[in-house]
Amino acid sequence: MKVSITDYEDYLYEHYKGHGIDTSLFMKLVEEVGEVAEVLNKRDGRKASNGEDLKSQLANELVDVIHYAFAIASLNQINLNDVVLEKDKKASIKYHHERNLEQFLLER
């Protein structure tokens, strides 16, 4: 099963709309980013790792980051699909990419 950005935003809006305060969600987002950093430090040998499945841990922490970022966007009526496409267009011009995300998708 594939999940679209819109589906995920709608799901998170329904989940948080009655009790989701985006400042508390932001604090959770920051916490999760820290957990991503911890896993990367273990992976790169800057922190001890006891045979942990770091790839799985990294995947789970990145999903947590995405969860909270999307929840904040959803509660603020930000359509991430449109913003991702627009921001990528600007970045592709700024950094002289051969094509942008929209072009990539159209070529598929």
Mind listing the pLDDT tens digit for each residue in 41-79?
999 999 999 989 999 999 999 999 999 999 999 999 999
Rounded Cα distance between 4 and 78, Å, is 15
- pLDDT at res. 14: 96
pLDDT bin (cut points 50, 70, 90) of residue 1 is very high
Sequence ranges of the domains in the chain: 1-77, 78-108
* CATH architecture of residue range(s) 1-77: Orthogonal Bundle (1.10)
Residues 6+ positions from 38 with CB-CB distance below 8 Å: 47
DSSP annotation of 77 reads T
Mind listing the pLDDT tens digit for each residue in 82-102?
999 999 999 999 999 999 999
- pLDDT at res. 20: 67
